[in-house]
Structure 1
Amino acid sequence: MAVWSGPACAGFLALAVGCVLLVQPELPGSVLRALWGPVLWTSSPGGTSAEGRLAAAWEALIVRPARPWSRVAVGVNACVDVVLSGVKLLQALGLSPGNGEDHRVLHSGEDLKEAFVHFMGKGAAAERFFSDEQAFHNISQIASTLPGAQHYVGGNAALIGQKLAANSDLKVLLCGPVGPKLHQLLDDNVVVPPESMQEVDEFHLILEYQAGVSSTGICSWIEDSRGEQWEHLTAPNANRFIFSHDLSNGAMNMLEVFVSSLEEFQPDLVVLSGLHMMEGQSKEIQKKRLLQAVISISDIPTDIPVHLELASMTDRELMSSIMHQQVFPLVNSLGLNEQELLFLSQSASGPHSSLLAWSGVPDVGVVSDILFWILKEHGRSEKRASDLTRIHFHTLAYHILATVDGHWGNQLASVAAGARVAGTQACASEMIDTSRVSLKAPQEFLTSHSEAGSRISVNPDEPVVQWYREGISFHFTPVLVCKDPIRTVGLGDAISAEGLFYSEVYPH
């Protein structure tokens, strides 16, 4: 978009808002103000787009750390993802959209339909356990044979391992329930211990829905705020709904195998995920297994940093246990998105926990407050024997890397690399294609709402901005959001993997 001034600019902006009102005549004032924001991302006088300037600036920032990892061990959830259109599957099952309703556990096709409608209407990602084994088997059989259904490496651990293994100088160990189909899909650079192999794969169904197409006519340059439609239901943006009947991952069966494999493999980084899969277990089994998990994680040598990748959860008691007295003190790093961050604060009565859900792009100041609280209340300090010193937060429009000072380096490269891969992987391109991406992050924001935060402006030529708060550093960068994403599954895992690849931990 060119930089205009005077009447031409005013007329253009009036036309823009008029077109938006034509699409959504009942938008509230707060939303309209947000829609004016992206107009501020303007081209340079030389005509280079803001997206192009930002992508070029990232390339200068993304450099390997002085002490890179050489061997990374990843565990423990792994499966085969069956990726397909959610609407097409539900139609194939003979279901029609009705009222949406969230279900913590799915017991039937009707529960599946209601939960899918609920999250598709919000444009939010979610993951749920399907309790009926035979019903899930029948649904997965139908899903696998539908036109367009594709099979991919799945599970946070396997996805992170697969992404890291793309770097030929990095050796990756993967422990998880690896069946024959998954083993076939894995990169040759991924080592799977024999004890981790099983005869049957675990399947997860990934129901995707797409963003809307552009409007036509005089407003054809506007991306329609309405997304994929299913009768009366409209998705505000592209996303996915995941469900499975996964007993191996749900019981974290491979955790002990994983930890016992570390002595021989000798990793210099451990990545752990899959705790969210325990939600399908009873409360009694959850508590018992979590205690066993803590004992196993405690056996990992303290000189090896551990990253914990969180995922969608609905059990506040389980999340609170993981955070307060169980897992957080044992790990050095966390990876999470906006849904997990807010749920974490709600589960422990943290800052802004009265917020029921995000409205549009998550407010940077609110996110910053919650990240600060996690590291202050549950991270390493002189008074607390916790190892937690790093959080990589990612949402569609921007990323924030928060670190306790003195423990991590190369943060600019880490957060920039995480944001870059979000744009390339979503568009299925090797490099950022500036014609296929757009900036949706705020160009100005407050760094806090709990205290007097600073107002920060983002310059595409210097896209990583920093601020500091009581011994904690924050690194923020916008994301170049893919306009027409090819695949939304595994983006968070790719982001965390790439951010970790460029991170450096300081020895103590």
Structure 2
Amino acid sequence: MSVSKNIPKVEQVWTRLLKEIENNNTNSKRFAIGYNVNIDVVLPAVDFFNKYIEFNNLDISTLEAKDCKEITTIEELISVFKYHFKDGRAAERFVTDSTLYKKLTTFFIENIDHEFLLGGNAGLMANLLCENGTPVLLAGIKGPILEKLIHQKVEFPKCKFLEEETKKENQQKLEKWYLENGIEFGENSDQIHLILEYKEGSSFGGLTAGRTNRFIISNDYFNAKMKTMKLFNSQLTSYQPTDIVVTGVHLGDGLEKQDRLQLVDQFADNIKALDPEIPLHFEFASIANFEFLKKIVNRVLPLIDSLGINEQELSSIAISLDKYSSEEIEAIRNPSPPIKLVSQVIYDLFSKFENTKLSRIHFHCLGYHMVGQKPEIWEDSYNAVAAGSLQASIQASGFTIKNAIQMENFATEKLEFNERSWKLDQVNWNNDGIIRDFDMQNIKFFWAPVAPCKIPIKTVGLGDAISITGFMNSNMKKKKL
């Protein structure tokens, strides 16, 4: 894409973002993160489905691209995948049939080249923080594969028998300790999620992908039921974190109705038990069941200080507000949605929860990042949106800050500046720099562009990396009463 003379070149954007964060000091922070960590297996989606279809002699010619809330059959899986594939939308679904999921995982192990990677919103955020030198306590239990993938400095809830758990004389004590913390012994094995990635322009079932993205499936009841909540909370007082991040409740999407609604109440009660003086961030994720989503919005959002969302998640939340047209909802789902519309939804969300703790919302999409916040609660977030934007480009492209900045024209053969992000005429900006801000009554917004990667090498965990980087670079002035 050519860049007009009135639009900054990519290297100018990169340099300005770097300058914004170079003096920001986050070394004094200490995070506690819960509750989902698992093993991801990244697979080429089209190759996986084509081989599986051929191997099982399936006829998919009549299968429509159709979304559904949960997956019980291979036909439903293919239909849901096609539905999100055609528009290149990120999505995650629970396969409720354990026999089907085992059949899928067995097939990929035997027929598809693969590697195990660290997964789970909480696990990915914990690893990134530790890579940047920030101490982390992670809610989770290490299985044999996870132990090889997680950063060695990530701390897990400790048991005094943990170092001796392989000794037979301590086995009974260890089992009792887990049971006391709500975990049945033996459930702490590695949970495997399948990450089905595809590239823009790839074809499947007569459809062409509109964007590079991924489709995630799992049968992870351990994380879905958030078994580590009690164990995690019991160790926070001694760990003394400066910041807490919670996520993973979206995995309850695959549970039975009564169980998933009860899970939201348990999750909310768990949040209430946390120290209200510690800044609390909640990372949202893709949810298919609208009743489940709406309950999360109404029960959880009033209890948190900070929220992380992307365009798909914001569109779902906008539907729950019941005041936007179908055309506006579709516009929010765009890779780079209208800034005016996004900021209005964020403002309406603040208005809905006006007398609650919610005071910061971090929105990220392909073209830009934006933080809306209450200025009396949070310090200015120029560095937060800058850091999140840089993290998006670095992680998607595989570059580091050092080697990317040294490349002529900021590696323009692989990166391009998203010109659509600069069509900003509907917003009354306070400044006209590369990083900008504007006000909407009592809410202040901070905005930064992203240099999108034409051929991203990794899409999994990108939103988690962006949100935790932005939150790590955000600082609270005081707690709202």
TM-score range, shorter chain: 0.7 to 0.9
Q: Secondary structure at the match of 2:269?
A: helix
What is the rounded CA distance, in whole Å, between the counterparts of 2:260 and 2:188 in structure 1?
A: 26
CA displacement at 1:71 relative to structure 2: 1.1
TM-score, length-scaled by structure 1: 0.81
Q: Which residue of 2 aligns with 1:57?
A: 16
What is the rounded CA distance, in whole Å, between the counterparts of 2:203 and 2:424 in structure 1?
A: 33
What is the rounded CA distance, in whole Å, between the counterparts of 1:270 and 1:239 in structure 2?
A: 29
Equivalent position to 1:207, from 182, 189, 196? 196
Matched, 1:173 2:137: yes
TM-score, length-scaled by structure 2: 0.86
Q: Aligned AA for 1:234?
A: T
Offset from partner CA, 1:259-316 (integer Å, 9 cap, x none): 2221111101000001111111122112322222222111111110110000001222
Q: Aligned AA for 1:444?
A: K
What is the rounded CA distance, in whole Å, between the counterparts of 2:147 and 2:39 in structure 1?
A: 10
Q: Secondary structure at the match of 1:205?
A: strand
Q: Aligned AA for 1:420?
A: L
CA displacement at 1:351 relative to structure 2: 4.1
Equivalent position to 2:337, from 362, 365, 370? 362
Q: Secondary structure at the match of 2:275?
A: coil
What is the rounded CA distance, in whole Å, between the counterparts of 2:320 and 2:156 in structure 1?
A: 35
What is the rounded CA distance, in whole Å, between the counterparts of 2:142 and 2:325 in structure 1?
A: 40
Maintained 8 Å contact 1:365/1:446: no
Maintained 8 Å contact 2:430/2:438: no
Equivalent position to 2:148, from 161, 169, 184? 184
What is the rounded CA distance, in whole Å, between the counterparts of 1:162 and 1:66 in structure 2?
A: 19
What is the rounded CA distance, in whole Å, between the counterparts of 2:246 and 2:23 in structure 1?
A: 23
Equivalent position to 1:495, from 441, 463, 466? 466
Q: Which residue of 2 aligns with 1:114?
A: 79
Maintained 8 Å contact 1:364/1:446: no
Q: Specify whether residues 184 and 105 from structure 1 end up closer, same or farther in structure 2 by C-alpha distance, changes over 3 A only.
A: same
CA displacement at 1:138 relative to structure 2: 1.4
Maintained 8 Å contact 1:415/1:476: yes
What is the rounded CA distance, in whole Å, between the counterparts of 2:336 and 2:188 in structure 1?
A: 43
Identity of aligned residues (%): 30
Equivalent position to 1:341, from 292, 303, 314? 314
Maintained 8 Å contact 2:3/2:9: no
Matched, 1:419 2:398: no
Maintained 8 Å contact 1:389/1:403: yes
For structure 2, list consecutive stretches of 5 or more residues without a partner in the other structure: 159-177, 405-409
Structure with greater proportional strand content? 1
CA displacement at 1:232 relative to structure 2: 2.4
5 Å-filtered alignment, 1:127-276, equals: 127-168=92-133, 170-194=134-158, 198-211=187-200, 227-230=201-204, 232-276=206-250
CA displacement at 1:342 relative to structure 2: 0.8
What is the rounded CA distance, in whole Å, between the counterparts of 2:25 and 2:3 in structure 1?
A: 37
Equivalent position to 1:284, from 249, 258, 270? 258
5 Å-filtered alignment, 1:452-463, equals: 453-454=427-428, 462-463=433-434
What is the rounded CA distance, in whole Å, between the counterparts of 1:407 and 1:64 in structure 2?
A: 22
Q: Which residue of 1 aligns with 2:411?
A: 434
How many residue pairs end up in the alignment?
437
CA displacement at 1:65 relative to structure 2: 4.1
Q: Which residue of 1 aligns with 2:361?
A: 391
Q: Secondary structure at the match of 2:234?
A: helix
Equivalent position to 1:92, from 51, 55, 63? 51
Q: Specify whether residues 507 and 41 from structure 1 end up closer, same or farther in structure 2 by C-alpha distance, changes over 3 A only.
A: same
Maintained 8 Å contact 2:393/2:451: yes
Q: Specify whether residues 485 and 458 from structure 1 end up closer, same or farther in structure 2 by C-alpha distance, changes over 3 A only.
A: farther
Q: Specify whether residues 492 and 145 from structure 1 end up closer, same or farther in structure 2 by C-alpha distance, changes over 3 A only.
A: farther
